[in-house]
Amino acid sequence: MFAIIKNGGRQYKVSVGEKLEVNRLVAEEGEQIRIGEVLLVVNGSDTFVGAPYVEKAEVVATAESHTRGEKLIVFKYKSKKRYRHRRGHRQELTVLRIDDIVSDGKSLVEKAK
């Protein structure tokens, strides 16, 4: 059982119990959030494809912590012009733990048990 969600202009394949790093969300640590932009839900032999989103489907996740990604170096250089510019960047991230996948108003975790 998994779902493909859209968040912050990116698509993620998620399943229950896994951790996911996404761009910083406005949520307190420990707060439960619902992601409604679900593009695909697969549960065994059942597949629900959205056009563009699956209706009555959402992914329930808990915001575990806020962190920063690894440092990236942006280096600009022009030959023979004495131009060198070095700058670093660290992306602000939120770590999510996927708790449940809901399709058609029913939890797929309880259905799997």
Nearest alpha-carbon partner for 72 in 43, 100, 45, 92: 92
**Phi and psi at residue 110, to the nearest 5°:** -65, -35
Going from N- to C-terminal start, the domains of the chain cover 2-66+94-112
- Rounded to an integer, the average pLDDT of 97-101 is 95
The pLDDT score that the predictor gives to residue 109 is 77
pLDDT tens-digit series, residues 25-55? 999 999 999 998 999 999 888 888 989 999 9
The pLDDT score that the predictor gives to residue 111 is 66
Statement: residue 95 has pLDDT above 90: yes
The type of residue at 54 is V
Give 6's contacts (C-beta < 8 A, 6+ positions apart). Answer: 12, 37, 39
Residues 108 and 101: beta-carbon distance below 8 Å: yes
How is residue 16 written in tokens?
Answer: 């229950």
The pLDDT score that the predictor gives to residue 33 is 95
pTM to 2 decimal places: 0.83
pLDDT tens-digit series, residues 59-84? 999 999 999 999 999 999 999 999 99
The pLDDT score that the predictor gives to residue 113 is 60
